[in-house]
C-alpha cells in the first residue's frame, strides 16, 4: 500500500513506527488540542465580556440615574480581568500537567491537595481549579450586571437623561417662557 493511499489518521503512526520512534497516540493529540481550545475559549469569554462591559460603561457615563449600573459594570470588568488571569494560570498548569504525565510515561501517581488525596497529580488539579475559577468569574460578573440591570429596570425604561440635556433644559424654558406668556396674553385679549 502506497503512503498516498493510506488514510490520513494512520499515516503519522506508521511513519513513526518505521523510523523507530514512538508516536503519540491519537487520543493524547486530541486531548491536547481540546486543552488548547479550552484555553482560547476562557480567554475569549472573559476578554470579550470585559470589552463588551467597557462599551456599555462608555455609553452610560454622564447619564444621571445609572450610577448603580455603572458601578456594577466596573466591578464586573474587574471580575472578568480576574477570569483572564485565572485562564492564563490554567494554561500554565495545564502545560505542567502534560509534562508531569510525560515524565511518568502517561501513568503518574495521584497527588494530594492540602492533605486530601487526589486521583490525579496535584499540578493537574490546580490547573483544573483555575479553569473552574475562570468560568466562575465570567458567570458571576455577567450575572451581577444582569441582576443590577433588572433591579434598576424602571430607571432604564425611563431612559436616563444626560447631564448636558438637563443643564440645557432650564435655559430653553427661560427663553420659551416670555414667548409662551405673549401667546397666552394674545389669546386672552381675543
Q: What secondary structure, in 3-state letters, does the chain show?
A: CCCCCCCCCCHHHHHHHHCCCCCCCHHHHHHHHHHHHHHHHHHHHHHHHHHHHHHHHHHHCCECCCHHHHHHHHHHHHHHHHHHHHHHHHHHHHHHHHHHHHHCCCCCCCCEECCEECCCCHHHHHHHHHHHHHHHHHHHHHHHHHHHHHHCHHHHHHCCCEHHHHHHHHHHHHHHHHHHHHHHHHHHHC
Lowest-pLDDT range of 4-8, 68-72, 129-133, 143-147: 4-8
* Number of domains present in the structure of the chain: 1
- Local confidence band at 163 (pLDDT 50, 70, 90 cut-offs): low
* 35-82 pLDDT, tens digit each: 999 999 999 999 999 999 999 999 989 888 888 999 999 999 999 999
- Region 80-92: mean pLDDT is 96
Q: Which domain holds residue 90?
A: 28-113+124-158
Query: Is 176 inside a domain boundary?
Result: no
Report the pLDDT value the prediction gives residue 28, as an integer from 0 to 100: 79
Query: Is 19 inside a domain boundary?
Result: no
Report the pLDDT value the prediction gives residue 57, as an integer from 0 to 100: 94
Query: Is 90 inside a domain boundary?
Result: yes
- Region 144-166: mean pLDDT is 75
Report the pLDDT value the prediction gives residue 154, as an integer from 0 to 100: 82
Query: Is 183 inside a domain boundary?
Result: no
Report the pLDDT value the prediction gives residue 181, as an integer from 0 to 100: 61
* 19-44 pLDDT, tens digit each: 655 555 577 788 888 999 999 999 99
Lowest-pLDDT range of 46-50, 153-157, 182-186: 182-186
* Residue % of the chain over a pLDDT of 90: 49
Query: Is 47 inside a domain boundary?
Result: yes
Residue 86 confidence (pLDDT) above 80: yes
Query: Is 14 inside a domain boundary?
Result: no
Query: Is 21 inside a domain boundary?
Result: no
Query: Is 11 inside a domain boundary?
Result: no
Amino acid at each position: 500500500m502506497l503512503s498516498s493511499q493510506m488514510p490520513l489518521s494512520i499515516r503519522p503512526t506508521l511513519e513513526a513506527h518505521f523510523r523507530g520512534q514512538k508516536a503519540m497516540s491519537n487520543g493524547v493529540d486530541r486531548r491536547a488540542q481540546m486543552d488548547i481550545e479550552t484555553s482560547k475559549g476562557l480567554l475569549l469569554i472573559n476578554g470579550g465580556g470585559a470589552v463588551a462591559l467597557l462599551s456599555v460603561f462608555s455609553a452610560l457615563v454622564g447619564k444621571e440615574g445609572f450610577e448603580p449600573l455603572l458601578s456594577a459594570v466596573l466591578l464586573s470588568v474587574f471580575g472578568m480581568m480576574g477570569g483572564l488571569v485565572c485562564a492564563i494560570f490554567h494554561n500554565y498548569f495545564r502545560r505542567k500537567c502534560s509534562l508531569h504525565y510525560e515524565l511518568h510515561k502517561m501513568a503518574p501517581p495521584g497527588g494530594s491537595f492540602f492533605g486530601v488525596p487526589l486521583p490525579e497529580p496535584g499540578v493537574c488539579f490546580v490547573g483544573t481549579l483555575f479553569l473552574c475559577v475562570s468560568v466562575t468569574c465570567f458567570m458571576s460578573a455577567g450575572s451581577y450586571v444582569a441582576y443590577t440591570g433588572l433591579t434598576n429596570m424602571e430607571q432604564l425604561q425611563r431612559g436616563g437623561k444626560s447631564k448636558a440635556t438637563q443643564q440645557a433644559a432650564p435655559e430653553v424654558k427661560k427663553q420659551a417662557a416670555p414667548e409662551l406668556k405673549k401667546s397666552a396674553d394674545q389669546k386672552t385679549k381675543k
